[in-house]
Amino acid sequence: MTDQVQITDSHCHLDFETFDKERGDVIARAVEAGVTRMVTICTKLRLEPQVRAIAEAHPEVFYAAGTHPMSVADEPMATVDALVSLAKHPKFVGIGETGLDYHYTAESADAQQKSLRLHIEAARQTGLPLIIHARDADEDMARILTEEHKAGAYSCVMHCFSSGAELGKAALDLGFYLSMSGISAFPKSQELRDIFASAPVDRILVETDAPYLAPPPYRGKRNEPAYTVHTAKVGAEVFGMDWPDFAAQTQANFDRLFWKAAKWKAAA
């Protein structure tokens, strides 16, 4: 393992039912592939105990929690105090995912915006990175992120970034990070790859969003953290870097943003 290129899957959903019968094997395959850290994301706060248990059971796994924008209408509104309290756990490393999704759930836009601002305040108070989901809401997303940053700085990653160039620029201008998912590796995603190529490489993360969005050659199949390698190798091509150098850069980026995970690793 010492000579193997190592990377981090900065966003996956290991608690989902599709992994129930082989969760340990999925994590083991990731480690074997060089994906030595994973952040599993809780999307409904009532499920936080199950997600936390996965992180506690596996040294390679960290976790974050929030209310996914598509669930805001059906779940209790998150509170800043609840999120701050959850963040006390040593393996809790981020706030979210939160954000705006007007593609599937535009009818709850007002509630989504309220929830987003609450999550931002929790990110401010904890110093942990905000994890953003954005779909078909670029204008409102850029506006709220900018308004809130002016009110008080916070850190943030645009998870599974597949939005337009303007939102990407707005996020980067605020000092935020963009995360490459399997979408970036799809043949028809050249426009998205061009957006990433124009970004500073020290602001790039990689992820799977497993079980969704498997990159080629697994497209259409269930995604899993081991496949982060395939997306990251496309990232290396996008930035014109050798694969080990790009992997090392994304590791440094992850450690800088997800400082609590890096600190835990150092203390372990």
* Strand ranges for the chain from DSSP E: 7-12, 35-42, 61-65, 92-101, 130-135, 156-158, 177-180, 204-206
Pairing of β 130-135 and β 92-101: parallel
Is 133 annotated as ligand-binding?
A: yes
Is 139 annotated as ligand-binding?
A: no
Is 22 annotated as ligand-binding?
A: no
In a domain? residue 1 = no
Query: Domain residues for 219?
Result: 7-262
Is 159 annotated as ligand-binding?
A: yes
Is 20 annotated as ligand-binding?
A: no
Is 149 annotated as ligand-binding?
A: no
| pTM of the predicted structure, to 2 decimals | 0.97
In a domain? residue 236 = yes
Determine phi and psi for 231, rounding to 5 degrees: -65, -40
**Structural domain tally of the chain?**
1
In a domain? residue 151 = yes
Residue 208 makes CB contacts below 8 A (sequence gap 6+) with 9, 11, 12, 181, 182, 214, 223, 224, 225, 227, 228, 231
In a domain? residue 126 = yes
Per-residue pLDDT of the chain (268 residues; tens, 9 = 90+): 457 999 999 999 999 999 999 999 999 999 999 999 999 999 999 999 999 999 999 999 999 999 999 999 999 999 999 999 999 999 999 999 999 999 999 999 999 999 999 999 999 999 999 999 999 999 999 999 999 999 999 999 999 999 999 999 999 999 999 999 999 999 999 999 999 999 999 999 999 999 999 999 999 999 999 999 999 999 999 999 999 999 999 999 999 999 999 998 656 5
In a domain? residue 82 = yes
Terminal alpha carbon distance of the chain: 18
Q: What is the CATH number of the domain that holds 187?
A: 3.20.20.140
Largest CA distance in the chain: 51
Total count of residues recorded for the chain: 268
